[in-house]
Structure 1
Amino acid sequence: MIFLFEKFFSDKTRERTEKIILNLALISFFIHLAVIYLLKFDFIQLPLGADLLENPISAVYTPFSFILIYEVYLLIYYLPKSITTYITKQYEIITLIIIRKLFKDLSSLELSSDWFEIKGDLQFTYDLIGSLLLFYLIFQFQKQGKKKFVPVDLIKPRIDKFVYKKKMIAVVLVPLFFGMALYTLVVWSLGFSLIPNELAPFESVNNLFFDEFFAVLILVDVVLLLISLFYTDQFNKIIRNSGFIISTILIRMSFGVSGAISTILIVAAVLFGLAMITVHNKYEKDMLLEGVKKK
């Protein structure tokens, strides 16, 4: 198991994966752009007018999809290293999903005085404001995640055992997520080629894979919480990790709704996670100060 972990998550593997993904992102962007212009000048014909093939701006959607794949890899990569970094990656992924959707929506905006009466323009507004709020909340979450109040040397033996368990989980997640992504791609491709005129609406396409991805993350978060109970009985850490599960559930729920509710759920999820880690750090700091006073 450790051999597989070193194989999947060594620095060399991470750097190689990053280069491959970035090259694919760049190539996919130019291919998408080329297809759009070939369609525009009638050099090729497709059986349906897909939204992603009508405007050059929407070509940015494809490279962002590859960037999201790399973010999924980084999420698994950081899982054994830090719970807070692992949760941060969850928040970054959902924010990038919104940003990716913004590029598509930007290509089909209807600029008129009836802005707030057009559903597509309203959704663009929600996502634009939501992405800005999420960027700030993630920044604050990262700041809170870097705060350490307990010397690592005092808890290192317990941490090493917990890290080993997390490494095993990470090794399992690699083929699982790869299989899920491959299955989603095959099913969607077959649906596109066999019944193109009944292709799922864009909202569904935007949620492909990541709907199930966050469902799996909920289970992973629960497993991490249960395993952590073997190594700590501190109330603040139990509540913090439980709060992270609730945060992931709220993100997962956002895929089942649309409009402002979806954006609100995502922002609420990250805000809840930030509140949890902030209170946890305050709790840990006060406990440390009390211990110093007693001495």
Structure 2
Amino acid sequence: MNFIYEKITYLFDPLHHRWEHERLAKKISVGLVLFFLAGLLCIELQRLGLLPASLAALIPRSHFSAIEMAFTVVLILEVISLIFTLPCSFSRSVGKQFELLALILLRNSFKELSEFPEPIAFAGNEEAVLRILSDGFGALVIFALLGVYYLIQRKKQDETMTSTDLFSFVAAKKGIALLLLAAFIFMGLRSIYLTLTDVSHSDFLHDFYTLLILTDILVVLISQCFQPGFYAVFRNSGFALSTVIIRIALAAPPYFNVLLGIAAALFAILLTIVSQKIFSGLPGKRR
């Protein structure tokens, strides 16, 4: 098994290093700006009737749709960052999922704008405005709770294992992350193909979140091989439950999605406080 773990690490670490490299981050940032400007240009050409009919059918008419598209790309980049975060501590990975939830709520707010007329008007769009306020303030509350969540985190729980077990556990999670990255690329390319062929399909980001839940459960089960004690199993399972609540929030209607997201964040915070403050120092808690 050590040979397999070493090969997985050999594949994962260079990819992770390149993704986190500052030079690549700058290129992505510039590319995102150009993508937003190109989106605005295509929308304007569509409104002027200067695009071929086959291409015009794929381009929205609202300039606000360019904002939604740009935030979709930001969300995709954050999902990739989440995949590379998976080999880190379970609590860090869950925190990254709350970051995604906050971004998804903001994206939903901008998505509502694409339905507004131009120039923008309040009359006749009262419900949309309420949904924008709900998702926007919900994202802000989750952002604040996420700050509290990170603030109360202490050292990684994985550090209590022996160095050999820690290497094996992290390598196993790196292998899962590589498979998850391949699945994400496949789902993304499939979504693009279905969009270009005008086939109705669900948001692949939401579908991928379902895969993330299954992945979290798999990581919990694998962690039990290295940390079989009740404390670690309950703590990791509790964090997995918070991700399930996040997934339900993504599928919930407006207003309920915010309440469920906040509930998930509060649950993760309370779980962290209980595990660190109440169980801290208890004899045999990691057996």
Q: What TM-score bracket applies, with the shorter chain setting the length?
A: 0.7 to 0.9
Structure 1 residues 53 and 155, CA gap change in structure 2 (3 angstroms): farther
State the match for 1:257 in structure 2. Answer: 252
CA distance in 2, matches of 1:131, 1:272: 16
State the match for 1:282 in structure 2. Answer: 277
Deviations 1:194-246 (A, max 9, x none): xxxxx67xxx6xxx112111111111111111111112233332222111221
Deviations 1:175-198 (A, max 9, x none): 111111111121122126xxxxxx
State the match for 1:91 in structure 2. Answer: 98
The CA RMSD measured in Å over matched residues stands at 3.0
Whichever residue aligns with residue 18 of structure 2, its letter is: K
Post-superposition offset of 1:144: 2.2
Unaligned runs of 5+ in 1: 193-198
CA distance in 2, matches of 1:262, 1:184: 24
State the match for 2:129 in structure 1. Answer: 121
CA distance in 2, matches of 1:17, 1:81: 21
CA distance in 1, matches of 2:134, 2:205: 20
CA distance in 1, matches of 2:272, 2:59: 40
The counterpart of 1:141, out of the listed 124, 135, 149, is 149
Whichever residue aligns with residue 37 of structure 1, its letter is: E
Indicate whether 1:266 and 2:261 are aligned.
yes
Question: 3-state DSSP class of the match of 1:229?
Answer: helix
Contact 1:22 1:67 in 2 (8 A): no
State the match for 1:67 in structure 2. Answer: 74
Unaligned runs of 5+ in 2: 1-7
Tell me the TM-score normalized by structure 1: 0.80
CA distance in 1, matches of 2:234, 2:158: 21
Post-superposition offset of 1:159: 2.0
Indicate whether 1:103 and 2:98 are aligned.
no
Indicate whether 1:31 and 2:38 are aligned.
yes
Contact 1:99 1:131 in 2 (8 A): yes
Indicate whether 1:12 and 2:18 are aligned.
yes
After superposing the two structures, state which structure 1 stretch, 155-164 or 13-22, moved more.
Answer: 13-22
CA distance in 2, matches of 1:214, 1:88: 14
Structure 1 residues 149 and 175, CA gap change in structure 2 (3 angstroms): closer
Indicate whether 1:180 and 2:187 are aligned.
yes
State the match for 2:3 in structure 1. Answer: none
Question: What's the % identity of the aligned pairs?
Answer: 28
CA distance in 1, matches of 2:102, 2:270: 18
State the match for 1:195 in structure 2. Answer: none
State the match for 2:163 in structure 1. Answer: 156
Deviations 1:96-141 (A, max 9, x none): 11112222324527525x88xx332221121022011111011111
CA distance in 2, matches of 1:24, 1:151: 37
Post-superposition offset of 1:151: 10
Structure 1 residues 30 and 239, CA gap change in structure 2 (3 angstroms): same
Contact 2:158 2:166 in 1 (8 A): no
The counterpart of 1:132, out of the listed 111, 120, 140, is 140
Tell me the TM-score normalized by structure 2: 0.82
